[in-house]
Amino acid sequence: MRFSPEELNLARQHLLDRIVEYFLTKKSVEALYIQGSVAANSADEFSDIDFRVVIQPELYEQIVSERFSAPRQWGEWLYNEWAGNPWVCVSHYQPFNKVDVLYFQPKELKPSPWYLLPTQLIYDPQDLVKEVIQASYGLEYTLDIREVDRLISKGLAYAEEVYRRVMRGELFYAQSQLDSFRGILIQFDDYDRKSLPSSGLGSPSHFEQRGSKTLIEGLKLSYATLDKQSILYALGELLKVYQHQVVKLHETLSLQRDKATDLSWIHAILQLCDTSS
């Protein structure tokens, strides 16, 4: 089975039209808007729809309770993903389309750098979203110092766990931890470059287009085959990039952790990778 770009793009637009039509019949709707690549006019045939709905407080629970049944009315529905958040539903459709719907109340619309990402207003009669976007100009994303501290520790823990599992012969587990380690590096790279991807900090989505050359090259070398030497080599390449990231974080932020300890442990794991491979 193959789909042409024209077929998928047309089906996505038809799906979007049906979703808008559905929500405009709801008197509880305060605003509708989309974000992501569709809003940025950079979508390809495999792009999904990032759809946002703002609901009046008194009817919010009712509309959200319908989030799994409503998608069946929007097109050739296949299935819903059961997202962990109670205000999200991700639905899939024929021929090969997908929509993420997030539900908000007006009080949750607060100025944020995230509103400076491409946003297309569809319905906003009270200018609720428009005013939030205007109030967001000039804002920059900053990582909480405690979160940076946690992420550095998690990075060290993932690296350590990769080595531990490789040495125990648990290569599947080691591969999963290696991927988690990549996520930490991507998140720090996003922060350093002040990138705010709509899919979230640390998301690999579109990272080829936004990431630093150094990390992209490191990532290319880190996709290991399922053997001890390959995984340890991959871990070592990622640790070299991580080492530079940690140094820069310590130099630019007032972290409540010891720089020497962080760097000495990174160096120790690097040495273990070299001597064990």
If asked whether residues 121 and 217 sit together in one domain, one would say no
Q: What is the pLDDT of residue 234?
A: 96
Q: How many domains does the chain have?
A: 2
> pTM of the predicted model, to two decimals?
0.86
202: pLDDT strictly greater than 80: no
The residues facing 29 across adjacent strands are 55
The residues facing 33 across adjacent strands are 52, 121
Q: What is the pLDDT of residue 34?
A: 97
199 token code pair:
């899919």
61-95 pLDDT, tens per residue? Answer: 999 999 999 999 999 999 999 767 889 999 999 99
164-189 pLDDT, tens per residue? Answer: 999 999 999 999 999 999 999 999 99
If asked whether residues 95 and 167 sit together in one domain, one would say no
The winner for highest mean pLDDT among 9-23, 78-92, 140-154 is 9-23
277: pLDDT strictly greater than 70: no
24 token code pair:
């405009």
Give the residue numbers spanning the domain of 157: 145-276
Q: What is the Cα–Cα distance from 16 to 192, expressed in whole angstroms?
A: 35
Lowest mean pLDDT segment, chosen from 1-10, 106-115, 124-133: 1-10
If asked whether residues 109 and 154 sit together in one domain, one would say no
Q: What is the pLDDT of residue 22?
A: 97
12 token code pair:
């996505």
Q: What is the Cα–Cα distance from 185 to 118, expressed in whole angstroms?
A: 25
If asked whether residues 126 and 160 sit together in one domain, one would say no
If asked whether residues 127 and 217 sit together in one domain, one would say no
Q: CATH number, domain at 52?
A: 3.30.460.10
If asked whether residues 76 and 59 sit together in one domain, one would say yes
Give the confidence band of 205 by pLDDT, cuts at 50, 70, 90: confident
The residue out of 119, 136, 153 marking a domain boundary is 136
What are the CB-based long-range contacts (under 8 Å, 24+) for 269-273?
269/156, 269/159, 269/160, 269/163, 269/235, 269/239, 270/236, 270/239, 270/240, 270/243, 272/163, 273/163, 273/232, 273/233, 273/235, 273/236, 273/239
196: pLDDT strictly greater than 90: no
Mean of the per-residue pLDDT values for the chain? 93
Q: What is the pLDDT of residue 54?
A: 98
Give the confidence band of 1 by pLDDT, cuts at 50, 70, 90: low
160: pLDDT strictly greater than 70: yes
Q: What is the mean pLDDT of residues 96-113?
A: 95
**Angle formed by the axes of helices 145-167 and 171-192, to 10°?**
150
Q: What is the Cα–Cα distance from 124 to 100, expressed in whole angstroms?
A: 19
Q: What is the pLDDT of residue 94?
A: 95
Alpha helices in 137-170 (DSSP H): 145-167
122: pLDDT strictly greater than 90: yes
30: pLDDT strictly greater than 70: yes
